[in-house]
Amino acid sequence: MEFLGASFSGEPGMAIIAIVAFAAGLVRGFTGFGGPAFILAILTLFFTPYSIVSKILVVDFIASVYLFKAVYRDIDWRSTTCMVIPTLLFMPLGHWLLVELDPLWMKRAMAVIIASACILMLGGFRYRQQMTTAWLVVLGIFAGIVFGGSYIALVAVVFILLGPYDKHQGRTLIISWSSFTVLGFALMSLLSGTTGLDDIVTAAPGAATYLLGTWLGSHGFHNASEKLFRRGAIAVLLCLALFNLVL
């Protein structure tokens, strides 16, 4: 089987991949983030990160469109634009790093940053003012490098969750920013040849269960309290960070 573009011994069966995608979709729909990172964390046990990223792109793209449509009317376009533009400009640098450098270094460094931020959040730390234009641009640059190199948006997410945003504001900003970056990453991957028709075909089964999980997770978010949302988001971030540190 070559679901993720590689033929490694001991690789998971299609049913296992579908279950992983479904669970990742639940996380993506509820928190607005974490689905691609969840898939990457599990499947890098069986495949190289480089072989997975283009397939995750296909799996997450439709879910991203669905979530964007759901929050469109509530988007803060100033904040979104200030993050999206520098992210898109610096994604090619991260994409180059993915190809040229050892991905383990980037994964471990990102995990340390995310785990540190989670510890701050668990301690009740939150900055009081919403991010200024300058901070949004800096965050967009940093997030663009990390996102382009790993297709993981968690660095941007932790800084948003550390802010004074309520669950709707924070999740909406995460979804609006990630939707445009997913589109930019898709175009970059297609133009560079790292994503092709074979990737779309082989990722389709996982995309179906991922979208189902996203739909269910999104409905769960609307029924969740502010406290439950933040705890769930922090738990997802911390688990993914620890996983990337250990493995």
pLDDT of 238 strictly over 50: yes
Domain assignment of residue 209, yes or no? yes
For the chain, the farthest-separated pair of C-alpha atoms sits apart, in whole angstroms, at: 51
CA distance 217 to 215: 6
pLDDT in tens, 192-235: 776 667 767 777 778 889 999 999 999 999 999 998 998 898 88
Is 102 domain-assigned? yes
User: Residue 160 CB: number of other CB atoms within 10 A?
Assistant: 25
CA distances from 199 to 46, 50, 54, 98 (A): 17, 13, 7, 18
More confident of the two residues 98 and 82: 82
In this prediction, residues 116-137 reach a mean pLDDT of: 85
Check residue 83 and give its pLDDT: 95
pLDDT greater than 50 at residue 6: no
Question: How confident is the model at residue 221, as a pLDDT?
Answer: 94
Q: Are 34 and 236 in contact (CB under 8 A)?
A: yes
DSSP letter for 236, please: H
Within-domain flag for 7:
no
Task: Tell me whether residue 8 is in a domain.
Answer: no
Number of domains in the chain: 1
**In b/e form, how buried is each residue of 50-61, taking b as 16+ CB within 10 angstroms?**
ebbbbbbbbbbb
Per the domain annotation, does 2 fall within a domain?
A: no
Question: Does residue 246 surpass a pLDDT of 80?
Answer: no
Contact 87, 157 (CB under 8 A): no
Q: Which domain holds residue 62?
A: 14-246
In a domain, 60, yes or no: yes
Report pLDDT digits (tens) over 11-28: 556 677 788 899 999 999
77 domain-assigned: yes
Q: Is residue 62 classed exposed, middle or buried when 0-12, 13-18 and 19+ CB atoms within 10 A define those classes?
A: middle
Q: Is there a domain that residue 88 lies in?
A: yes
Are the beta carbons of 183 and 68 closer than 8 angstroms? Answer: no
